[in-house]
């Protein structure tokens, strides 16, 4: 399993990380949903500390580019994933 699950250090700059921490007040907390939509009592059912952002929000482009960079790093380590192109 360790072959598939991992992480990459320093993909998010300290400056960007600090800016997000200081300026993420407009972000909405993620909810638990299924194919029909948000589950009633979502906040009680699953505890999550994640938030989500949309294309028109600050830092979207920065985080999108970081995600693309991480995919490229993963593809280098796992060459059979070279056709995976999520974005």
16-50 residue pLDDT tens: 999 988 887 778 777 777 788 777 776 676 677 77
Q: Residue 78, Cβ neighbours under 10 Å: how many?
A: 12
Q: Do the domain assignments include residue 38?
A: no
Q: Quick check: is 31 in a domain?
A: no
Tell me if 18 is assigned to some domain.
no
Q: What is the pLDDT of residues 61-87, one digit of tens each?
A: 999 999 999 888 888 888 777 766 665
Instruction: Tell me whether residue 52 is in a domain.
Output: no
Q: Which domain holds residue 69?
A: 1-11+58-87
Structural domain includes residue 6: yes
**Is 40 part of any domain?**
no
Q: What's the domain count of the chain?
A: 1
* Residue 32 falls inside a structural domain: no
Q: Considering the domain boundaries, does residue 53 fall inside one?
A: no
pTM of the model: 0.67
């Amino acid at each position: 399993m360790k072959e598939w699950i991992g992480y990459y250090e320093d993909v998010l700059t300290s400056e960007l990380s600090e800016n997000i921490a200081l300026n993420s007040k407009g972000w909405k907390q993620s909810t638990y949903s299924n194919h029909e939509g948000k589950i009633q009592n979502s906040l009680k059912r699953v505890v999550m500390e994640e938030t989500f952002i949309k294309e028109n929000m600050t830092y979207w482009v920065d985080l999108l580019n970081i995600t693309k960079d991480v995919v490229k790093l993963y593809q280098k380590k796992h060459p059979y994933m070279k056709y995976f192109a999520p974005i």
